[in-house]
């Protein structure tokens, strides 16, 4: 999960820096000229970064089921939300007290964006991992994962780890 957080923070920092640079070259100080536009850009950057971070966490963890990907994304989003709270606390040191409610609502909204986007990214990453190994549909059941085709069902039900070479000359699941 830490890999997803690192990827999300890097992408978020790059996108926020890009937005700040564009705004500074167009409007002057991006934080005082048009706060609404900058706030929308930060929210969009947070959503993209959290989605990619959640997807990365699911891919690194080799998640196959959507619920496992959602959990990986939720953990990634929660860690990002903590980073967001810390960033909000840092911003609060220079924030006017008369606009404290604005800052609190902004931090809360970004937390929500982080958690939802990372969870959706985790689900997307799990689906991508399942498709990458040829599974069309993986669903959790009481017995474990079930899949739609007979071949895939036999693969998961009868799989054993073998030290003997397979017909393809490699060791693995037979």
Residues 62-90 have pLDDT tens digits of: 888 888 999 999 999 999 999 999 988 89
Total number of domains in the chain: 2
Cβ atoms of 107 and 84 closer than 8 Å: yes
Nearest 5 degrees, angle CA 53-CA 118-CA 145? 100
Where is pLDDT greater, at 144 or 41? 41
Residue 11, domain extent: 2-133
Regarding whether 164 and 150 lie in a shared domain, the answer is yes
Say yes or no: 96 and 26 in one domain.
yes
φ and ψ at residue 168, rounded to 5 degrees: -90, 5
Is residue 20 over pLDDT 90?
no
Whether 140 and 91 share a structural domain = no
Least confident piece of the model among 55-59, 114-118, 144-148: 144-148
Residue 79 and residue 75: Cα distance in Å, rounded?
Answer: 6
> Are 98 and 173 found together in one domain?
no
22 and 85 belong to one structural domain: yes
Lowest average pLDDT, out of 62-66, 128-132, 162-166, goes to 162-166
Regarding whether 103 and 44 lie in a shared domain, the answer is yes
For residue 156, how far is the Cα from the chain centroid? 27
The answer, as to whether pTM is greater than 0.75, is: no
């Amino acid at each position: 999960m830490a890999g997803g957080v690192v990827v999300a923070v890097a992408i978020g920092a790059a996108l926020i820096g890009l937005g700040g640079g564009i705004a500074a070259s167009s409007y002057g100080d991006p934080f005082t000229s048009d706060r609404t536009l900058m706030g929308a850009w930060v929210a969009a950057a947070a959503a993209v970064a959290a989605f990619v971070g959640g997807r990365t966490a699911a891919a690194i963890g080799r998640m196959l089921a959507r619920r496992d990907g959602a959990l990986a994304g939720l953990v990634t989003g929660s860690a990002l939300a903590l980073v967001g709270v810390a960033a909000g606390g840092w911003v609060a040191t220079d924030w006017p007290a008369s606009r404290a409610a604005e800052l609190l609502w902004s931090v809360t909204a970004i937390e929500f964006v982080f958690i939802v986007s990372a969870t959706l990214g985790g689900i997307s990453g799990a689906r991508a991992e399942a498709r990458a190994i040829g599974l069309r549909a993986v669903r959790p059941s009481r017995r474990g994962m079930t899949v739609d085709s007979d071949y895939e069902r036999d693969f998961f039900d009868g799989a054993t780890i073998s030290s003997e070479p397979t017909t393809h000359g490699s060791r693995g699941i037979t």
